[in-house]
Structures are given as C-alpha cells and as structure tokens.
Amino acid sequence: MESKLFFGDATAFAAPALTVFAADTQTDKNADPQPALLNASTFIATTAHTLLASGEFKASLGEVAVLHAPAGIKAERLLIVGIGKAKDLTADALRRAAGVAVRSAKARGIRDLAIAFPETASLTQQSGASLDSTLTARAIIEGAEIGEPDWDTYRSDRKGRAVESLTLIAPESQRANIQRGFDEGRTVAAAQNFARALVNEPGNVLTPTELGKRAKAMCDDSGLQCEVYSSDKIQELKMGAFWAVAKGSAEPPALIVMTYDPPTAPAKDAPVLGLVGKGITFDTGGISIKPADGMEKMKYDMAGAAAMIGAMHAIARLKPAVKVISIICSAENMPDGRAYKPGDIVTAMSGTTIEVVNTDAEGRLVLADGLHYAKTLGCTHLINAATLTGAISIALGSLNFGVFSNDDATCERFMDGLAVSGEKAWRMPCTDDYRDHIKSEIADIMNTGKNRYGGATSGAMFLKEFVGDTPWVHLDIANMAWNETPKPWLPYGPSGIAVRSIIEWVRSFAA
C-alpha cells in the first residue's frame, strides 16, 4: 500500500471511499450512546445525520458504517469508523481505527481509500481535545499500514485484494507537524511490516543463513554496515553457549552484526546502544523435545531477531544521533547425534559455566553470548528481544509483553516510549533475590529455574548474569509475537510486536 498525504478539503476529494472517525460522547453510563463525528464539515454531518440519530451506530471501536453516494461529498462512499468512548480518544485508538478502516475497505474490494484527519473541536470537554497532531498523523498511518497486509503469501487462493493507496487528508493549519508525523509513521510501519514478513516465513525457507542474507540485503539497502558470521567465528569467539545450541543442526548458525553510525560522529563518552535478538529459526526443543501439538508455531522463535532487524531498518532512515549495534544470534534448535544434551556443561564467552538442564531453554543460551559480545563491541546500554518463555503467557496473557531490567532509569526510558509506540508492556521483577532460581550444584548457573514457578523471571535472571553492570532491558515477547486471534485492526499471524517501542527507546538517547 502506498500512503500519501494531501492538504485540503476532504469533502472535495474524489475517491472510492472517504473515512471519517466517530466517537461516543455519552458520559452517562445508563444512557444510550451518543456518536459524534470527528469532522467539522456540515456536508458530512448532514449526510450522516439520519444514521447517527437512528441509534444503530454506536461508534464503538471497530464498528463500521458505510453510506453510498453521500450528498455533498465527492467520494463515492462515506466510511464511518468508530473509535469508542470520546474520553478514551488517544492516538492509539486512532491507530486501531485506521487499521479497521483499511481492513474493512479491503473486504469490500475498495482499492483506494481516503481518511479525513480527525477534528476534535466538537469534543472540547473531553480528553481527545488535546490530541497531538504529529502523533495523530503518525498513529493513523501506522495503523493503516499495519492493518493492510494479510499473511497469505503462500496461499494459491489468495485474493490479492490489497488496498493499493491510502490518502490522509489533513488541514493546512498543522501542515509541518502533520507532515512530520506522516513521514515517521511510514518509516516505522515499514520497519514493523519488514519484521512481520520475516516472522511469517517458515523454518524451511528462513534458515539462519537465509536470515543473514535478508539482514545483509536490508543493510545494503539502508546504508548500514553488516557482517554475517557462522560456525567458525562463533567457535573462535568461544561462544560456547551459542555453539552448544547451534551444533545440533545441519543448518549452519548465523551471527549477524549490523551497525548504524549517526551522521555526525558522537562524543567519545556518548552512549552506544546494543540491540540483541534471539533468532531461533525453528525450536524443536532439541533433545528435551517439545510435544508435537503446536510445535509448528516454533518457526516464530526468531521474532526477537526480526524485531531488531526491523528496528534497524527504521533507525537507518530516522537517523537518530546515537550509535547503534545490533547482534542477532541465529540457529536452529534440533535433536541430533551431535546435539547438546541435558546434563552437558558449557562455557559461555564470558567464562561463565552453564549446566544444561533442558535443551529447550536454548534462547537464553544464544543470548548469553550475544549480550556479552555486544559489551565487547563497546555497547554501553543493552536491549534484547526474545520469544523466551511460555511462562510469560501464563503471567501476562497476550495483552502486555514482559519487560525486565537491571536499571530503573534505562527501563523507564523504555516504558516512557510506550506512550508514543502505543504498545503495551508490563515490568516484571528481576531482582537479585531471584538468583536462587538459576543456582546450579555443579556449574556457575543452570539454564532453567528450579521449578516452573516464575519461569519468565528465571529466564531473565539467566540473561542478567551476562550483562553485568551494563544497563539492560529484556523484552520477553513470546506471548505476543504471533497474533492467534484476528482483530478488526490486525490480521492473524506475525504481529511485529516491540519494533515500535525499540525504535522509541533508541530515539530517547538521541533527544
């Protein structure tokens, strides 16, 4: 889909459909909904009047009404899209509503869609009146671009019913701010969709080698440096934990290093950010093999890596004034004659010895070496993303991903960015009193907790061993990387979760 920005009058814009958002302004819980259009045009108000007065349309989030041949408007249809309660009108509600608009246009075979920039003058007394125009423009473009794709690339019966173009029609008065938000939104959404496309690929197509090729091609395209190493380098660097996982597969592993240098050389003591991703292109569990039921989903065990590659895609274009190095540890976790086994003791690059209790806890092993390596490359602040534990789903369901950190200030930067990214995350404990979980009798640490309880924190505590004093944030996205239940604004499949928030975290260092 190609997104365009047009400054002018929405009613005079010729298109198969024009989207106008609507909010429910009713504040009395016991009274009927009171939908109001987020648009000041009297033509649009007159056309929609009968529908809105009928009580049929409640303006709830995800609700759509279509009026054909609307009087006084150049577009062939008026698509009225609910955003929910006016008091809940946030940029994120608009992000979702824009996704709803695109997905419902797609289902109707509409290939060109216009969206009228929301006007909130009618909502003066309510919270939406203070929407920031840059963030609003950005959220609408992101929602639309993220809502558009269906992950049916491999289906012979795919409909090919893409919405080909989207035009955001905005008022002149906020031109510069809206233009900025629009440009950022396109960049960020492209990055998220890039990550999703990687996650969508099956394990037989996207091997570690192929992931390396795609990362390299993206970097060449984006003006980033990229080095892709394999078995020799991993052994040469003494990455014993990463290698233990990798050696059980006929597919060679990939250690991918992507570097972004800001346009102006930063000061000597300026931060260097390390973005580390878990890139297990398929996780069978290894010798501690997983049950067959649902194992096919383990192709998305590289979603952390995809999130980082996606973030680098955007960073190359947004050009923040901070150096960023991304390290991807990619391997396939397989049972094999040469595979690592429960009971094995491996030595990580840091020198820490690890008792392998369960070969299915492989993500923390590859990340242990990735995080340590990032420090040796000069990273002063670390963030990693990983589909690390099933336990994070038990703890948080699938509405918030997990955030763990050893440093409040660095973690707060991340949490602050959520207001811009519109993603939801919850900080989980990762304090030293949990270190008992990973204590081993015969090595420095073991790769599982003592029992299933607090499993997501056990995983985080393991990673924490390898970051030392370096401020670090760990994102456990296992519960959100794959969208199982389609939503009106988001299809089934890869979500691209965390890409937007990682980008904001990086930008916070440049501000």
Give dist(CA 302, CA 209) in Å, integer: 13
Contact between 99 and ligand BES (CB under 6 A)?
no
Contact between 476 and ligand BES (CB under 6 A)?
no
Applying CB under 6 A, which of residues 362, 369, 423, 465 lies at the interface with ligand BES? Answer: 362
| Closest to 96 measured CA to CA, from 491, 490, 468 | 490
Contact between 363 and Zn ion (CB under 5 A)?
yes
Using CB under 5 A, count the residues that bind Zn ion: 6
Give dist(CA 222, CA 337) in Å, integer: 41
Contact between 332 and Zn ion (CB under 5 A)?
no
Contact between 342 and ligand BES (CB under 6 A)?
no
Query: Quick one: 112 or 301, whose CB is closer to ligand BES?
Result: 301
Sign of the C-alpha dihedral, residues 114, 115, 119, 125? Answer: positive
Sign of the C-alpha dihedral, residues 459, 465, 467, 471? Answer: positive
Q: 3-class DSSP state for residue 272?
A: strand
Stretch that binds ligand BES, among 14-22, 85-93, 111-119, 354-362 (CB under 6 A): 354-362
* HSE of 464, CA atoms in CB hemisphere, 13 A: 21
Q: Measured at the alpha carbon of residue 400, what is the angle toward residues 382 and 198, in degrees to the nearest 5?
A: 65
Using CB under 6 A, count the residues that bind ligand BES: 14
Give dist(CA 230, CA 279) in Å, integer: 13
CB of 478 to ligand BES, least distance (A): 4
Catalytic residue from among 364, 375, 413, 507: 364
CB 188 within 8 A of CB 138: yes
Contact between 352 and ligand BES (CB under 6 A)?
no
Contact between 283 and ligand BES (CB under 6 A)?
yes
Residue 290: active-site member: yes
Contact between 476 and Zn ion (CB under 5 A)?
no
Contact between 283 and Zn ion (CB under 5 A)?
yes
CB 438 within 8 A of CB 348: no
Query: Quick one: 135 or 477, whose CB is closer to Zn ion?
Result: 477
Applying CB under 6 A, which of residues 206, 325, 391, 443 lies at the interface with ligand BES? Answer: 391
Contact between 330 and ligand BES (CB under 6 A)?
no
Query: Quick one: 82 or 286, whose CB is closer to Zn ion?
Result: 286
Say if residue 271 is exposed, middle or buried (CB neighbours under 10 Å; 0-12, 13-18, 19+): middle
CB 3 within 8 A of CB 144: yes
Using CB distances below 5 to 8 A depending on partner kind, what does residue 478 bind out of ligand BES, Zn ion, none?
A: ligand BES
Residue 364: active-site member: yes
Query: Quick one: 380 or 393, whose CB is closer to ligand BES?
Result: 393
Contact between 361 and ligand BES (CB under 6 A)?
yes
Stretch that binds ligand BES, among 1-9, 155-163, 387-395, 419-427 (CB under 6 A): 387-395
Q: At what angle do helices 408-421 and 499-510 cross, to 10 degrees?
A: 120
Applying CB under 6 A, which of residues 200, 387, 457, 501 lies at the interface with ligand BES? Answer: 387
Query: Quick one: 4 or 439, whose CB is closer to ligand BES?
Result: 439
Using CB distances below 5 to 8 A depending on partner kind, what does residue 355 bind out of ligand BES, Zn ion, none?
A: none
Q: Which residue has the tokens 């440009």?
A: 183
Catalytic residue from among 111, 238, 290, 297: 290
Sign of the C-alpha dihedral, residues 108, 19, 186, 97? Answer: negative
Neighbours of 250 (CB within 10 A): 9
Applying CB under 6 A, which of residues 478, 480, 498, 499 lies at the interface with ligand BES? Answer: 478
Applying CB under 6 A, which of residues 301, 332, 369, 465 lies at the interface with ligand BES? Answer: 301
Query: Quick one: 418 or 461, whose CB is closer to ligand BES?
Result: 461
CB of 386 to Zn ion, least distance (A): 8
**Helix, strand, coil percentages in the chain from 3-state DSSP, rounded to 5:** 40, 20, 40
Stretch that binds Zn ion, among 147-155, 274-282, 365-373, 401-409 (CB under 5 A): 274-282
Would you give the binding string for ligand BES spanning residues 419-448, x where CB under 6 A is met?
Answer: -----------------------------x
Q: How many helices (H) and strands (E) does the chain have?
A: 13, 20
Q: What is the DSSP string of 346-381?
A: EE-TTS-EEE-S-TT--HHHHHHHHHHHHHHTT-SE
CB of 388 to ligand BES, least distance (A): 6
CB of 362 to Zn ion, least distance (A): 5
| Closest to 385 measured CA to CA, from 478, 468, 455, 452 | 478
Q: Measured at the alpha carbon of residue 106, what is the angle toward residues 99 and 2, in degrees to the nearest 5?
A: 70
Positions touching ligand BES (CB under 6 A) are 283, 301, 358, 360-363, 387, 389-391, 448, 455, 478
**Positions marked active-site:** 290, 364
Positions touching Zn ion (CB under 5 A) are 280, 283, 301, 360, 362-363
